[in-house]
């Protein structure tokens, strides 16, 4: 099983927009660092190759820690020192071997769970005011009467408005044992008094399929945010539904997908790969952790035009899928070079309740490519590799990306592909520099855009409810006056207006505002449908997937 580390899943919040600039890049790095191809159910056994050196090292550490605890001039946190020492030791091995303390395991594991216990509400925090973006359809919050735009004043008797709580802290207040109840106090637009609800927590689906819909009569779009425990079943159901609606070609979006369980990823890949061709193999020290995985089922979509979207945030198990489909010339990859995470971690439960995720092998694509990028002994350089791509121009031009001829491989149809640092797509799309500009990313990170959209939705709720989404999407536009109002509101929150910057990102801002309004009024599919207008990578993918002649040429067929 490969895994990934957590995003904020406690409240059922979707992955959100791909346009997060440097904040998103930092988050993707953290996720990819913690994620990896995890091989589970293998019992841990101490090495018998070098027992004397291991024993000497253990005794030396124990002796030093004992002296520090007993004789150091000040009181010390010995457990904290031990955690630090372990982290530094693992850093010397590789960037993905990690120790997860017991206190963090639940949060880490929740990223890959198919459900959680809570009330099912997505929220946004702006100026320390917590606002409901949307209650989960059919969830406890919706059934209790919670509405999009409601402001949360208190949770379980604890004041949250003006309390400067993080999203994680708010999520923990909303979560709790299944069957337990939590008291919520809300303020609703145009009501003089606050509203109080007692909502019983229950199991809330934690879907890893962010969106699945038909773009036109034939073209389907499925976005997979991670490979969690239920991803394969969710994907099968979504694909079958789209096939029933008439799907004959598909865009599979793996952008920003940091990985997850390897067996879910390989089963998903098997849906596209015919026969018994290899999907992935692993190679470690000796043959204990060597494995080979082959296609073995009659897949749901083994024929038909297929495009896979990838970017620098696609890592680990996502790269396994992309690499297998590219090596077998089954799909055209569109986007930018993937993260480059090709190490396999073994999860080992420790006696203190923590978990060691130790690298025990490397994984390889069917053609023999190792996707792991170089890391050497300098952890700081490895951590800065993504920003280095930007500095070198790799995110803007394919010509800036250079691969060693020694790492050249061939696909089934003889096309040249490379190993040694991520999966290079067949069709390169430069990163949108406007979407990653300082001003635009500040607007998003401060929550200004979503807050403005929620306020608009609340004030125009009656009108919006009288429109079908198709009418809204065809006629609704953000006016210049509304854009000026947004930038003025942002300035009050510390995001100073820059006329040139506003003009530069005006189209993106209008689109993002419209998408957030559509999310509150019409749901997730409406949100992604609106975003599609300004998504250059997806637009290119849709063009490729619909041009069968050009795609066959790209695939060397």
Tell me the CA distances in angstroms from 390 to 105, 417, 434, 538, one per residue in order: 33, 22, 14, 21
CA–CA dist 275, 273 (Å, integer): 7
The pairing of strands 278-284 and 291-294 is antiparallel
Dihedral pair phi/psi, residue 334, rounded to 5°: -125, 135
Q: Is 341 a catalytic residue?
A: yes
Tell me the CA distances in angstroms from 63 to 50, 54, 58, 82, 86, one per residue in order: 20, 14, 9, 12, 16
Dihedral pair phi/psi, residue 196, rounded to 5°: -120, 135
CA–CA dist 138, 332 (Å, integer): 37
**Which string of DSSP letters, residue by residue, matches 193-237?**
S-EEEEEE-EEEE--SEEEEEESSSSEEEEEE--B-TTHHHHHHH
Catalytic residue among 223, 278, 341, 442: 341
Residue 103, SS3 per DSSP: helix
**Cβ atoms of residues 222 and 242 within 8 Å:** yes
* Closest among 195, 190, 184 to 141, alpha carbons compared: 184
Element (H or E) spanning 151, and its range?
A: strand 151-155
CA–CA dist 110, 12 (Å, integer): 11
Q: Is 161 a catalytic residue?
A: no
**Cβ atoms of residues 270 and 279 within 8 Å:** yes
Q: Is 316 a catalytic residue?
A: yes
3-state SS of 452-500 is: HHHHHHHHCHHHHHCCCHHHHHHHCCCCHHHHHHHHHHHHHCCCCCCHH
Q: What is the dihedral of CA 7, 10, 12, 16, to 10 degrees?
A: -30
Catalytic residue among 94, 270, 327, 535: 327
Catalytic residue among 316, 432, 514, 535: 316
So which residues are the catalytic ones? Answer: 316, 327, 341
């Amino acid at each position: 099983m490969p895994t990934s580390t957590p995003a904020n899943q406690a409240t059922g919040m979707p992955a959100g927009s791909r346009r997060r600039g440097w904040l998103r890049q930092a988050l993707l790095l953290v996720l990819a660092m913690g994620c990896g191809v995890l091989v589970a159910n293998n019992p841990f056994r101490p090495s018998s190759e070098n027992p004397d050196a291991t024993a000497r090292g253990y005794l030396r550490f124990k002796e030093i820690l004992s002296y520090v605890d007993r004789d150091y001039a000040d009181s010390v946190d010995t457990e904290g020192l031990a955690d630090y020492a372990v982290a530094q030791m693992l850093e010397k091995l590789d960037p993905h071997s990690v120790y997860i303390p017991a206190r963090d395991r639940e949060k880490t594991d929740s990223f890959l769970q198919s459900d959680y216990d809570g009330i099912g509400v997505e929220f946004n925090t702006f100026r320390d005011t917590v606002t409901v973006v949307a209650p989960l359809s059919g969830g406890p919050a919706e059934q209790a009467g919670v509405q999009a735009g409601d402001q949360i004043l208190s949770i379980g008797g604890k004041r949250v408005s003006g309390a400067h709580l993080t999203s994680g802290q708010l999520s923990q207040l909303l979560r709790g044992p299944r069957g337990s109840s939590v008291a919520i106090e809300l303020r609703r637009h145009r009501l003089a008094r606050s509203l109080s609800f007692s909502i019983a927590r229950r199991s809330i689906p934690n879907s890893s399929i962010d969106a699945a819909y038909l773009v036109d009569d034939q073209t389907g779009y499925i976005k997979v945010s991670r490979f969690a425990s239920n991803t394969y079943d969710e994907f099968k159901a979504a694909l079958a539904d789209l096939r029933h609606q008439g799907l004959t070609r598909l865009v599979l979006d793996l952008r920003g997908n940091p990985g997850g369980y390897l067996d879910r990823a390989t089963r998903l890949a098997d849906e596209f790969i015919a026969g018994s061709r290899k999907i992935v193999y692993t190679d470690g020290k000796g043959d204990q952790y060597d494995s080979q995985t082959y296609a073995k089922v009659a897949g749901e979509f083994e024929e038909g035009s297929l495009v896979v979207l990838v970017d620098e945030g696609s890592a680990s198990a996502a790269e396994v899928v992309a690499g297998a489909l590219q090596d077998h010339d089954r799909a055209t990859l569109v986007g930018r070079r993937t993260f480059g995470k090709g190490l396999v971690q073994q999860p080992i439960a420790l006696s203190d309740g923590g978990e060691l995720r130790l690298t025990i092998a490397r994984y390889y694509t069917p053609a023999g490519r190792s996707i792991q990028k170089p890391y050497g002994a300098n952890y700081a350089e490895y951590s800065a590799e993504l920003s280095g791509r930007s500095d070198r121009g790799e995110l803007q031009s394919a010509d800036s990306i250079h691969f060693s001829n020694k790492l050249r491989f061939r696909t089934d149809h003889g096309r040249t592909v490379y190993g040694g640092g991520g999966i290079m797509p067949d069709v390169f799309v430069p990163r949108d520099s406007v979407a990653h500009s300082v001003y635009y990313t500040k607007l998003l990170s401060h929550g200004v855009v979503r807050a403005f959209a929620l306020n608009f939705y609340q004030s125009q709720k009656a009108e919006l409810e009288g429109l079908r989404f198709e009418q809204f999407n065809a006629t609704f536009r953000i006016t210049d006056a509304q854009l000026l109002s947004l930038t003025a509101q942002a300035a009050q929150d510390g995001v100073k207006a820059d006329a040139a910057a506003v003009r530069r990102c005006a189209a993106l801002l209008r689109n993002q505002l419209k998408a957030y309004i559509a999310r509150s009024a019409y749901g997730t599919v409406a949100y992604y449908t609106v975003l599609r207008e300004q998504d250059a990578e997806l637009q290119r993918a849709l063009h490729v997937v619909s041009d069968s002649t050009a795609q066959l040429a790209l695939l060397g067929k």
